[in-house]
Amino acid sequence: MRKLVWQAGATLALAACLCAPSRAAPPEKGSYVTTIPSQVSNPPPLSPAGETVVPNDPAFSRECLQMIPALRKNILVERALTTDTKQWGVVLRIDFTMAAAQMQTIAGRVNRLVFWHGAGGALSVLIAVGQPMAPLP
């Protein structure tokens, strides 16, 4: 089990879904980025840039959320955006907040999930917590 120090001593147990992070510890306290599977070397960017916005695909959204059962139970989806890219194909980005009251989002920071089908068609996810970026539109 990996624990993420979140804010004012509170912790978020990310359980087995984040047991093998592929990224080094972020430079800022309260930030965290990892991917599943852990060996992803070139994930889509956290924020869409030059990507074509496409309608949500409910089947793809369900597949994505089923990939992260431990985390899914503890988040509230704020915004979602589906795009299509030449490099990564269909990408689903979800901004979220923590469901527990003690896990409030740090002001000016965004929590984001980024899903895509990686090498060999395997579903991959990038999980970013406490990032200094703009929310999805």
Share of the chain above pLDDT 70, in %: 72
Domain assignment present for 84: yes
**Average pLDDT of the residues in 17-32:** 44
Entry pTM: 0.75
pLDDT in tens, 33-53: 888 877 788 899 999 999 999
- How many Cβ atoms sit within 10 Å of the Cβ of residue 102? 12
Cα 128 to the chain's mean position, in Å?
A: 5
Domain assignment present for 119: yes
Q: What is the pLDDT of residue 32?
A: 72
Range of the domain at 27: 3-131
Domain assignment present for 114: yes
Domain assignment present for 82: yes
> Helix or strand or coil: residue 136?
coil
Spatial distance between the Cα atoms of 43 and 36, rounded to a whole number of angstroms = 10
Domain assignment present for 136: no
Choose the weakest-confidence range: 79-83, 113-117, 128-132.
128-132
Domain assignment present for 137: no
Which residues sit opposite 90 in a β-bridge? 84
Domain assignment present for 95: yes
Q: What is the domain count for the chain?
A: 1
Long-range contacts of 34-39 (CB under 8 A, 24+ apart): 34/126, 34/127, 35/124, 35/125, 35/126, 35/127, 36/67, 36/68, 36/124, 36/125, 36/127, 37/118, 37/122, 37/124
With a CB cutoff of 8 Å and minimum separation 6, the contacts of 42 are: none
Domain assignment present for 48: yes
> Helix or strand or coil: residue 42?
coil
